[in-house]
Structure 1
Amino acid sequence: MDLTEQINQLEADLQELGSLLAKAERKRVQELLKEEQKKVEKEITAKRQQKEQQARRVADPTAATKAAYTVKITNYGWDQSDKFVKIYLTLKGVHTIPAENVGVEFKERSFSVLVKDLDGKNHQMTILNLLSPIDAGESCKKIKTDMLLIMCRKQTSKKWECLTQIEKQSKDKDKPAPNETADPSDGLMSMLKKIYSDGDDEMKRTINKAWSESQEKKLKGEDMMDL
């Protein structure tokens, strides 16, 4: 079925949805029909854009090779499930170009994206040194409205703290180093302060008395040393 026929079918669907909506009396049914109308209208718009691009390529067979330049994709989002690391690329109109124009190559520790002839440009991104190995054969791409979803299949079902090894090294570098010269008594003082803060009046009096006696002994020891 060519694009013209697809558009005709979608327009017929839209017309029938309009007829059903006019007859619907229940609010919930009306809302469902309206949502479906929006989906069909969006699909018609995308198909028309795709048809226009095809017409331009027929009129000028060299148009596909006239992409002015290649731009790097630098903005992306990512999340993960037990099985996949998912990378989201926002590319307006990506769903309107031929699927063969969207290429993704997966390797064990990397993947690269090349989207050809989108808005007169090629769009490229390469992510190297992934945090953990992926299964290249089980990884895939999904083209959605104005978005490309890259799905990297994990070799092991463990949580990734970041996307690449470089990011992890940067995070580890920024972590404060252990304070090896810290006074061992600091921990004891912190514990005593907490006990004092949480304790009752009797506990506070006991701690105050012990502290005072300790300070007196310390002063007496210093005085004897001065002698």
Structure 2
Amino acid sequence: MSVEELKSIEAEFAALLEQAKSARVKGVLTQAKAEVEREIVNLEIKARLAAERQAGGSTQQAKRYLHELTDYGWDQSPKFVKLFITLNGVQNCTEDAVTVNYTPSSLQLYVRDLNGKDFGITVNNLLHTIDVEKSYRKIKTDMVAIYLKKAQEGQNWDVLTAIQKRLKQKQDSEMSKSGDNPESELVNIMKKMYNEGDSKTKQMIAKAWTEGQEKAKFGKEFGGGLGDLGDL
């Protein structure tokens, strides 16, 4: 599917989101829209790499691959939301090799030819709108700092994205339903996330659960490992 077709689908999801009233419907549409945006970004990056390889024509450039970054830290001030992406040696890149594309609700960082590799990270569905024109980035030692200008200064972002917000609300809601036994409710939440997640999510939950069990004082109650998570 072409980028143009995906952008058309993205526009349809955006229109439906404006009409949706149910929180559940909004959640489904937002997640679907995020997946389409991710596909668009991936296709755009692949097209850019293909163009660079065709223009350069070198064997070294043809062997470069895109490495998707997933970890970042963030903070905020009254005017900006600040993202910090660790990337060893990025200070050695030229200014034009480190680019950030912004939309009012997303950002895409692209680092070209760092030690023979390309790196990228995309954050979609930001919790609130940003001012694209006043957002910028800085290259620091082993780090790229991205400054997202808040469209509404002074607005507090308790999380970075709308998806994280909905997950937090869901967890808080489900935890409140079982106040007498929060540990049991935590198990239920992890079960649900595990059953609904992809392979990477399942690996992360399994690892977190195993490490937690090794340190937990109530290990005997849960039987250790993932045993009490049933048929995850």
**Counterparts in 2 of 1:98 and 1:64: CA distance versus 1, 3 Å:** farther
Q: Which has the larger radius of gyration?
A: 1
- 1:75 Cα deviation after fit: 1.0
Instruction: Tell me which stretches of 4 or more aligned residues in structure 1 moved more than 6 Å.
Output: none
Identity in percent: 38
For residues 73-128 of structure 1, what are the alpha-carbon distances to aligned partners after superposition, in whole Å with 9 as ceiling and x for unaligned?
11110000000000001111111111111010011000001100012111011100
**Equivalent residue number for residue 142 of structure 1:** 138
**Counterparts in 2 of 1:88 and 1:162: CA distance versus 1, 3 Å:** same
Matched AA of 2:116:
G
Q: 1:168 aligns with which of 165, 189, 209?
A: 165
- 1:63 Cα deviation after fit: 6.5
**3-state DSSP of counterpart to 1:137:** strand
Cα distance in 2 between the residues matched to 1:63 and 1:142: 31
**Equivalent residue number for residue 101 of structure 2:** 105
**Equivalent residue number for residue 84 of structure 1:** 80
What is the Cα-based RMSD across aligned positions, in Å? 2.3
**Superposition pairs of residues 53-92 of structure 1, within 5 angstroms:** 62=58, 65-92=61-88
**3-state DSSP of counterpart to 2:64:** coil
How many residue pairs align between the two structures?
122
Matched AA of 1:68:
R
Confirm or deny: 8 A CA contact 2:64 2:113 kept in the other structure: no
**Equivalent residue number for residue 186 of structure 1:** none
**Counterparts in 2 of 1:95 and 1:170: CA distance versus 1, 3 Å:** same
Confirm or deny: 8 A CA contact 1:67 1:122 kept in the other structure: no
What is the TM-score normalised by the length of structure 2? 0.49
Cα distance in 2 between the residues matched to 1:84 and 1:130: 13
**Counterparts in 2 of 1:84 and 1:64: CA distance versus 1, 3 Å:** farther
Confirm or deny: 8 A CA contact 1:67 1:117 kept in the other structure: no
Gaps (5+ residues) in structure 1?
A: 1-59, 180-227
Confirm or deny: 8 A CA contact 1:104 1:113 kept in the other structure: yes
**Superposition pairs of residues 129-208 of structure 1, within 5 angstroms:** 129-156=125-152, 157-176=154-173
Cα distance in 2 between the residues matched to 1:62 and 1:144: 29
**3-state DSSP of counterpart to 2:119:** strand
- 1:64 Cα deviation after fit: 6.7
Cα distance in 2 between the residues matched to 1:118 and 1:67: 13
Confirm or deny: 8 A CA contact 2:132 2:149 kept in the other structure: yes
**Equivalent residue number for residue 116 of structure 2:** 120
Cα distance in 2 between the residues matched to 1:63 and 1:158: 49
Cα distance in 2 between the residues matched to 1:77 and 1:66: 32
